[in-house]
Amino acid sequence: MKADNPVQQAVTWINDPLNWTNPGGIVDRLGEHLWISAAAVALGCLVAWPIGMWLGHAGRGGSVVVMISNLTLAIPTIALLTILPLTFLGFGKPPVIVALAVFAVPPLLANAYTGVRSIDPEARDAARGMGLSGWQVLARVELPLAVPYLAAGFRTASVQVVATAALASFVNGGGLGQIISAGFGLGISVGGGQILAGGVLVALLAILVEAILAVVERAVTPRPLRRARGRAARRAAAATGNA
């Protein structure tokens, strides 16, 4: 017996406990999705934060930051997902993680750069005047003051990675997108419900991550900075094209 309406089919599919607990079911795929995304964001932070903060500290490379974000915007995710497994990275999870990390870099980099750049020069001068060296200024003054920006970049990058991780299914890389791809493989009359259910799961996950990290971002932003920060972040985001 087959429900004719895709929404009914989706509800039926999602209410089947086996679809959750089977190998390759929702629980499995969710775990894969979160693990791939977390690894990609961590890798992106590892690369982008030091470079972004150093560029901001040195006051150079603003155009490089903009150029990198424009260039990555033009590269299709699927291109990297298909090219990287054919390089020395080999098949499996590593190429997927690297591909997603590439797309996490621009928001992380831009926010780290803007965060350090937008620090009141007087705070920096005062630190210099107290005899702090360049590294000490970076570590003790600029880093703490840039934390709200780093958090904003982290949120943007994480949401983007969680969203793009769904595309890993194109190269059989796992994650919740696999449910959608499998549904398309079955065809619309059989898999319609599964496609819709997978879409809802992926969308909910992205919105959930966005909401949680928005709370985190607010928590690490000192109260007096909250209003002004929101505006500055939107401006930085508009400049680099990342929401």
d(CA 180, CA 191): 9
Confirm if 175 and 165 have CB atoms less than 8 A apart. Answer: yes
Q: Taking the CB of residue 205, how many other CB atoms lie within 10 A of it?
A: 21
Helix (H, G, I), strand (E, B) or coil at 199: helix
Residues 117-136 that bind other proteins (CB under 8 A): none
Stretch in the footprint of other proteins (CB under 8 A) among 22-30, 43-51, 112-120, 204-212: 204-212
Confirm if 161 and 44 have CB atoms less than 8 A apart. Answer: yes
Could you list the beta-strand ranges (E) of the chain.
none
What 8-state DSSP symbol labels residue 76?
-
Q: Which residue number, 47 or 239, has a Cβ lying nearer to other proteins?
A: 239
- Decide: is 99 part of the binding site for other proteins (CB under 8 A): no
d(CA 94, CA 97): 5
Q: Taking the CB of residue 153, how many other CB atoms lie within 10 A of it?
A: 34
Q: Which residue number, 127 or 196, has a Cβ lying nearer to other proteins?
A: 196
Confirm if 115 and 151 have CB atoms less than 8 A apart. Answer: no
Q: Which residue number, 114 or 169, has a Cβ lying nearer to other proteins?
A: 169
Q: Which residue number, 143 or 214, has a Cβ lying nearer to other proteins?
A: 214
- Decide: is 73 part of the binding site for other proteins (CB under 8 A): yes
| Contact pick of 206, 213, 233, 236 for other proteins (by CB under 8 A) | 206
Residues 43-72 that bind other proteins (CB under 8 A): 70
- Decide: is 138 part of the binding site for other proteins (CB under 8 A): no
- Decide: is 212 part of the binding site for other proteins (CB under 8 A): no
| Contact pick of 83, 123, 190, 228 for other proteins (by CB under 8 A) | 83
- Decide: is 78 part of the binding site for other proteins (CB under 8 A): yes
Contacts of 181 (CB under 8 A, 6+ apart): 169, 170
* 34 CA to centre of own chain: 11
- Decide: is 74 part of the binding site for other proteins (CB under 8 A): yes
Q: Count residues contacting other proteins (CB under 8 A)?
A: 46
Q: How is residue 222 written in tokens?
A: 């000192």
**Interface positions with other proteins (CB under 8 A):** 6, 70, 73-79, 82-83, 85-86, 90-91, 159, 162-164, 166-167, 169-171, 177, 180-181, 183-184, 187-188, 192-193, 195-196, 198-200, 202-203, 206-207, 210, 238, 241, 243
